[in-house]
């Protein structure tokens, strides 16, 4: 049974305005996925700023080869479980594949993830016209949005695999334009995934909203990883940008604390976790 830790020291709640202040003050933001209440509690205790219920759960929890089979019902279910394990950590949930196929579906999905699930913010992949409209519509209804650009896993079939994005000059310029567009549409946060380190730096400097990188180099305002990757338990090949923080340590708690400390200090990600 899951038991809440009533004796834990109180921590100030992480908020959307608080994240903006962190960027302004140059304090690194730490984000990590969680899919259930027990891991959420570990994430909370380690002082992670943002817990992400990622649609990566389709791969690491359900065993699919992509994130595409994940349903909105499943995301609501996992979000509600994670919410019960958190108190001060900001909770963000991914819009699953096609839940954001048009503005009205995106609004309905956002309402469920926040209303039933307890998320504080929803994350949406891409910058297509209907996505920009959805970011604006959600934000207008007081649902903050985290955009997600670069290697957007829901586009795996369009990319022909989980391939690094923005390597050519015109592709890099396109990512910068998309980043400015999602910020203009009202996004309060951006996850930038699988792009060269120089592009991670360029996007981070171009935006006033915080940029959280995963395989986007050390210059982003924060970092995110899939929790099973940083615990070294993902079966098969892990992405090059991840790191096993449990190796040489004695507990999940210690591993997450080390990840938090290394992101805050700038020790993670190192050059070997980035792309040129």
Ligand X SMILES: Nc1nc(=O)c2c([nH]1)NC[C@@H]1CN(c3ccc(C(=O)N[C@@H](CCC(=O)O)C(=O)O)cc3)CN21
Ligand Y SMILES: CC(C)C(=O)C(=O)O
User: Is 60 one of the binding residues for ligand X (CB under 6 A)?
Assistant: yes
Burial class of 4 by CB neighbour count within 10 A (0 to 12, 13 to 18, 19+): exposed
Q: Specify whether the CB–CB gap between 156 and 66 falls below 8 A.
A: yes
User: Is 214 one of the binding residues for ligand Y (CB under 6 A)?
Assistant: yes
Looking at the DSSP bridge assignments, the partners of residue 102 are none
CB of 186 to ligand X, least distance (A): 25
Contact pick of 22, 31, 59, 227 for ligand X (by CB under 6 A): 59
Bridge pairing between strands 121-125 and 211-214: unpaired
The reply, when asked if residue 56 is annotated as ligand binding, is yes
Residue 269: cis peptide before it, omega within 30 degrees of 0 = yes
User: Is 229 one of the binding residues for Mg ion (CB under 5 A)?
Assistant: no
Token pair in block for residue 273: 């976790």
User: Is 153 one of the binding residues for ligand X (CB under 6 A)?
Assistant: yes
The reply, when asked if residue 4 is annotated as ligand binding, is no
Q: Which of 25, 193, 254, 272 is catalytic?
A: 193
The reply, when asked if residue 240 is annotated as ligand binding, is no
* Distance of alpha carbon 144 from the chain centroid: 14
Contact of residue 191 among ligand X, Mg ion, ligand Y, none (CB under 5-8 Å per partner type): ligand Y
- Catalytic annotation present for 193: yes
The CA-CA-CA angle for residues 209, 215, 217, to 5°, reads 65
The CA-CA-CA angle for residues 122, 123, 126, to 5°, reads 140
Q: List binders of ligand X among 208-227 (CB under 6 A).
A: 226
Q: Within a 10 A sphere around the Cβ of 229, how many other Cβ atoms?
A: 20
CB closer to ligand Y out of 135 and 224: 224
The interface mask with Mg ion, positions 16-55, x = CB under 5 A, is --------------------------------------xx
CB of 78 to Mg ion, least distance (A): 12
* Distance of alpha carbon 252 from the chain centroid: 20
| Number of residues located near ligand Y, criterion CB under 6 A | 11
The reply, when asked if residue 123 is annotated as ligand binding, is yes
CB closer to Mg ion out of 96 and 258: 96
Q: List binders of ligand X among 76-135 (CB under 6 A).
A: none
Alpha-carbon distance of 71 to 239, in angstroms, equals 24
User: Is 94 one of the binding residues for ligand Y (CB under 6 A)?
Assistant: yes
Interface with Mg ion (CB under 5 A): 54-55, 94
Q: Which residues have a catalytic role annotated?
A: 193
Residue numbers belonging to the annotated binding site? 55-56, 94, 123, 125
């Amino acid at each position: 049974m899951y038991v809440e830790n009533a004796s834990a020291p109180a921590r100030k709640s992480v908020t959307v305005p608080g994240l903006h202040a962190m960027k302004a003050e140059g304090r690194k933001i730490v984000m990590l996925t969680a899919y259930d209440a027990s891991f959420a509690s570990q994430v909370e205790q380690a002082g992670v700023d943002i817990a992400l219920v990622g649609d990566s759960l389709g791969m690491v929890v359900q065993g699919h080869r992509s994130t595409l089979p994940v349903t909105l019902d499943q995301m609501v279910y996992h979000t509600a479980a994670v919410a019960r394990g958190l108190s001060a950590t900001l909770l963000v949930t991914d819009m699953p594949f096609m839940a954001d196929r048009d503005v009205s579906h995106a609004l309905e999905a956002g309402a469920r993830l926040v209303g039933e699930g307890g998320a504080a913010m929803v994350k949406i992949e891409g910058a297509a016209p209907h996505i920009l409209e959805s970011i604006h519509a959600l934000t207008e209804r007081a649902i903050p949005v985290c955009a997600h650009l670069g290697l957007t896993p829901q586009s795996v079939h369009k990319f022909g695999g989980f391939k690094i994005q923005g390597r050519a000059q015109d592709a890099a310029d396109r990512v910068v334009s998309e980043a400015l567009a999602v910020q203009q549409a009202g996004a309060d946060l951006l996850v930038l995934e699988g792009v060269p380190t120089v592009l991670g730096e360029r996007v981070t400097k171009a935006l006033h909203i915080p940029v959280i990188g995963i395989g986007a180099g050390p210059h982003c305002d924060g970092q995110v990883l899939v929790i099973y990757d940083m615990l070294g338990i993902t079966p098969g090949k892990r992405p090059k940008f991840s790191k096993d923080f449990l190796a040489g340590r004695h507990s999940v708690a210690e591993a997450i604390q080390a990840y938090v400390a290394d992101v805050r200090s700038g020790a993670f990600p190192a050059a070997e976790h980035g792309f040129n």
